Structure 1
């Protein structure tokens, strides 16, 4: 099936407004300036219990990492906690670009969401973003009780490159024997720099996020060919996926990243990990954040947040 009509309208508008990364725009700082100069969509912020910004101790060589924390509208004690990593190809987007999504997630899951302002490439290439995310995970586990969270009920989540960081954080936690993660929500995750799947060939152009965009993002993030083989940069390079937390993986039919997300889900299942993969036909990379405009996005968010909520329920 083709893109759904409501999705086609958004893809046409977004494609016209988005920088031609790697061709017309070669500099990450310039891309950020272009995006920042465009008028922000006027939406009413989803009401949550409260929002607070903090800075937490950073990894080696980094003094602090900024986070934005969201408490759900329904108050409670010993709430589960979700570590969230925003997308943007490791290069663009920020806490503000994903603020509405984090608000919806906090209410939908009934959890405290901690959104990470990780260091971005190319100024800070791999493994900077992954180290920041894992450091914040360790902070959550150590400090959850101080902000009303339950350290025994932690999930990781992210979209696109943030889905990569969520998956990597789960790998790091397993390899370092903690902190314990109960669930991972991977929203059309950007996992494999090889870019050699059928969905890359089928959806290389014309669906907002292109093969050129993704190639450019990987070039900014990875400093060497060896990095591309490191499981903490490219989770599919891990030879052993056993012992990871259950996963809920969302893909979109017209997304170059579709196949790598689905293959990763199958590899998790083959390794004995509970993993659900849901493909949204007629949709494109980025649709999940557009619940105000796309019925599929609202449905996807409702189902995903319900899955995470169930995974984080007290025994």
Structure 2
């Protein structure tokens, strides 16, 4: 059984993009585009309570979910693990059940553990929706959706002729995994993955991708370069010799960007390590869509919350 869909065919949870049907993914993108263009749904979640249940730090994801829920008329409860009963030993499941018992209908959950959000979804009462805001290295579905929305806005709906490069620390990146699932579902023509061998997964994640350690070759003629942050908090020491070496081999500079298509766009999920995976003049340059991604995050999260709770 697909955990995303209930017995009536409605979207029940949003846990990943791997198992989300392609038609649902497309519908969410189209609704998000409508919100990005100014569509209003001020009372779609009127009377509903949404909890941002974050066991990991966040800036963009937490704030954009809060703003999205607010724009839809929901009541918002902000959970901070560092000031909660979790510090007294309360389990994640007991925390979830306690807040659920208060009548909360929607949970936006971020967690450091792979599969932790899906485990909470299994404990959800009927009518309660769980939305994955990032779990471990596994999934970050709304980031994948907002990245696809940003690509669509720049390149159109037909991905079949697109060449997209995902560059950097793919091994530790839940964003990269969600982007890869979404790009495949949308029929991307060519997906190139580039990074040091130690930072590329060997678990089948890259099936169907063109894999290279040569950044210059990966950039040749691409329509979009998706740069990834070095996730130093998730990696063991020694995977990268030095930040200077990494920037020299895998940092996106203006000179390197000229290898891409003239109208190529540059993306980054943030937070950026400036001078490591991306240079200032590229991050802030005319081809950058980094702030567009942030703006699209609100629209995508409005669409997801509306679909789950509206």
**Shared fold (TM-score, shorter chain, > 0.5):** no
Higher percent of residues as strand: 1
| Structure possessing the higher radius of gyration over alpha carbons | 2
TM-score, with structure 1 as normaliser: 0.35
User: Comparing both chains, which one has the higher relative contact order based on Cα–Cα distances under 8 Å and sequence gaps of 6 or more?
Assistant: 2
